[in-house]
Amino acid sequence: MLQRQRKSLTLRIAFPVVILILLLGVMLDRFVLNVISDFTKEQIQRDLGSISRIINNICDINFENLLMEGKADDRQALTIEQGLVLGQVEDLLVQEDLLGIVYDKNLKKILLKTDLPLEPVKWMDPGKGIKGLKSLGENAGGWFAFYEEFSPWGWQIIILKNEIEYSSLKTRLNKVYLNTLLILIFASALLIFFIHQTIKKPVNTIIQALRKGKRPNYQGIYVFEFLSDSITGMMDSIKKSEEKYRSIIETATGFVWEVDKKGNYTFISETVKNILGYDPKELLGKSAFFTMPEKEIDRMSPVFRKNALCLKPFENLVNKNLNKQGRTVFLETRGVPIIAEDGRLSGYRGVNKDITLQLIAKKEHKELERHRHQLQKMEAIGTLAAGIAHDFNNLLFIIMGNVSLSKVGIEKGLPVIKYLKQAEAASARAGELANELITLSKGGMPILTVGSIKNLLAETAGSIIKDVNVKLLLQIQENLLTVEYDEIQMKQVFINIITNALESMPNGGLITIDAQNLWKRDHTDKVESSLPEKIYVKITFKDQGRGIERQHLENIFDPYFTTREMGTKRGAGLGLAVVYSIVSHHDGRISVSSEPGCGTMITLYIPACEKSI
């Protein structure tokens, strides 16, 4: 309260004025008191001197009368005369409000003594030949004595006056002081009132409005009106700026944040709700790593720590987060350090931008590029293979014709027939290869019909996985959507995949085939996320085989790529290339994932027929 009073504007202005006035008053008082003291002394000297001369005259006249009457030596006459003089002197002293004594130096006796408030002999030293005015000293209480002598009678007349007698002057002065004081108090009150009215009131009006968060609207004194208007203008400007800033923050693709030096959020903009699903209040006070998975925290915290130690800003720091629903959100973090006045780090301020979609788009683009490249590669190989296969087929027909003719003319049982048969079988095998190569070429375009692949899938899988030590788990959705497909080619696809699976499990195992409608794509899957906006029928083939090495995964759809030994019957490496080609011709996609020793999973995405949706 006292501190607040000390800071009061009125007090700050009025206090020095009052102090100045008081100082002037004290100085004036000192000065005037000295003047009065001198004046009093002069006045006492003048007054007492005047009375003293009158008394001397009285004595003189009476003495003269005695002389003129020839009674100067008449003792009785002298006694009477002196007695009368003493009476007149006393009357005069009483009349003039004076005190005094008449001392007979010859008789060493006080002849007259008015009612003195002090022992005269003690202070006045009668009979010591003193003349004129004498102060009786501090102990005598402000008394002055005027010494006069009437020599013919040996009288010393001492008249006393106290300076307090002149107190009326001081009293008047005190009245003046009192009046001045009252005027000053009144003036001070007026000043305070004036300050209150002209300064404090307008300032209070402005301050009160500001405290309430309102725009001041003072009308009156020009200066404060100007101040009020200026503040209002500034507030409007700030408000606009704030609104602009807020709208920027709220409409930004990222969210603005501030953390303290421990990395805990101290501010977080509303847009975080759109990005991470959290209300800002839920995150305030929590660590900036709160939304990151543990592995990401392990990866990011050293980076943050290192930057913080060097007071470095963050630039395009991509980090993985989980939103409130648990979905992955990739954020790009930018931040600058907040430096306190002492030069130490007090926190960071920055923006987190959601780049999940960008990353997906990038992945999609990459996948599409890879797909396009694969198609081009397949097309080039197909064109080449188709040409070779056509010519090869022609040559094979000649070879096979000639072998057949040779067999006709040769007697049964000859050893040459055995060789001719082998040549004929090899030629037939070469023909199959040539056909496969033609399938890869343009000549293998599918003849599409609409239907469910449900039965085809089940029958094909059932026919292949038979009489082997491999089990089949077939999971086909009841209401599987129909697709447009070429039955022969699609069957070839199923055969090739299942055959590969069987071959990867020489010791047996389980093949799981799953077919279902794909309504919602998983954007974290690079193939799914790259699919055009359609509904697909998703068919997954999962085996428990030896798997594929990571480095081979990219090449498994290339023609003649195989992980098996070259020269074996089934090591031509066209199986998955054909699968890829057929699926592509059906506007579908294929993905493969595999872990060595854990099996392989091949997924087909065949666009569902729009009519069935």
Least distance between another protein and beta carbon 54 (Å): 15
Least distance between another protein and beta carbon 87 (Å): 6
Distances, alpha carbon 125 to alpha carbons 13, 14, 314, in Å: 59, 56, 104
Torsion angle (degrees, nearest 10) of CA 148, 151, 154, 160:
-10
Question: What letter does residue 154 receive in the DSSP assignment?
Answer: T
CA 394, CA 371: separation in Å to the nearest integer? 33
Q: What x-and-dash track marks residues 197-226 binding another protein by CB under 8 A?
A: ------------------------------
Least distance between another protein and beta carbon 72 (Å): 16
Question: 3-state class of 55 per DSSP?
Answer: helix
Least distance between another protein and beta carbon 95 (Å): 5
Closer Cβ to another protein, 69 or 279, answer by number: 69
Least distance between another protein and beta carbon 94 (Å): 8
Beta bridge pairs of residue 483:
451, 608
Distances, alpha carbon 37 to alpha carbons 61, 562, 582, in Å: 36, 132, 131
Q: How far apart are the first and last CA of the chain?
A: 79
Count of all residues that appear for the chain in the document: 613
Closer Cβ to another protein, 165 or 587, answer by number: 165
**DSSP character string of 72-123:** TT-HHHHHHHHHHHHHHHHHHHHHTT-EEEEEETTTTEEEEE---SS-HHHH
Least distance between another protein and beta carbon 86 (Å): 4
Give long-range contacts, CB 8 A cutoff, 24+ apart: 281-290.
287/262, 287/263, 288/257, 288/259, 288/263, 288/264, 289/263
Least distance between another protein and beta carbon 185 (Å): 35
Least distance between another protein and beta carbon 16 (Å): 49
Sequence-distant (≥ 6) Cβ neighbours of residue 593 within 8 angstroms: 553, 600, 601, 603
Closer Cβ to another protein, 65 or 435, answer by number: 65
Least distance between another protein and beta carbon 75 (Å): 9
How many C-beta neighbours within 10 Å does residue 387 have?
13
Q: Identify residues 372-391 at the interface with another protein (CB under 8 A).
A: none
Least distance between another protein and beta carbon 30 (Å): 35
Distances, alpha carbon 360 to alpha carbons 104, 375, 526, in Å: 136, 22, 8
Q: Identify residues 47-106 at the interface with another protein (CB under 8 A).
A: 76-77, 79-80, 82-84, 86-87, 91, 95
Q: Report the alpha-carbon angle 573-574-580, nearest 5.
A: 120
Dihedral pair phi/psi, residue 101, rounded to 5°: -140, 155
Closer Cβ to another protein, 91 or 243, answer by number: 91
Closer Cβ to another protein, 93 or 355, answer by number: 93
Least distance between another protein and beta carbon 156 (Å): 17
Closer Cβ to another protein, 86 or 121, answer by number: 86
Closer Cβ to another protein, 76 or 551, answer by number: 76
Q: By CB under 8 A, how many residues form the interface with another protein?
A: 13
Q: Are 420 and 410 in contact (CB under 8 A)?
A: yes
Distances, alpha carbon 2 to alpha carbons 17, 347, 584, in Å: 20, 37, 87
Q: Does 111 bind another protein (CB under 8 A)?
A: yes
Question: Helix/strand/coil (H, E, C) string of 271-306?
Answer: CHHHHHCCCHHHHCCCECCCCCCHHHHHHHHHHHHH
Strands 509-518 and 470-476: parallel
Q: Report the alpha-carbon angle 490-494-498, nearest 5.
A: 170
Closer Cβ to another protein, 108 or 550, answer by number: 108
Closer Cβ to another protein, 95 or 251, answer by number: 95
Least distance between another protein and beta carbon 4 (Å): 56
**DSSP character string of 321-337:** EE-TTS-EEEEEEEEEE
Closer Cβ to another protein, 71 or 334, answer by number: 71
Closer Cβ to another protein, 79 or 135, answer by number: 79
Closer Cβ to another protein, 116 or 474, answer by number: 116
Closer Cβ to another protein, 116 or 227, answer by number: 116
Closer Cβ to another protein, 117 or 137, answer by number: 117
Which residues in 486-498 are b (16+ Cβ under 10 Å) and which e?
Answer: beebbbbbbbbbb
Residue linked to tokens 């906006």: 533
Least distance between another protein and beta carbon 88 (Å): 10
Q: Identify residues 523-582 at the interface with another protein (CB under 8 A).
A: none
CA 582, CA 453: separation in Å to the nearest integer? 15
Question: What letter does residue 199 receive in the DSSP assignment?
Answer: I
Q: Does 168 bind another protein (CB under 8 A)?
A: no
Among residues 17, 32, 54, 112, the one that binds another protein under rule CB under 8 A: 112
Q: Does 270 bind another protein (CB under 8 A)?
A: no
Alpha helices in 341-355 (DSSP H): none
Least distance between another protein and beta carbon 67 (Å): 19
Question: Binding residues for another protein, per CB under 8 A?
Answer: 76-77, 79-80, 82-84, 86-87, 91, 95, 111-112
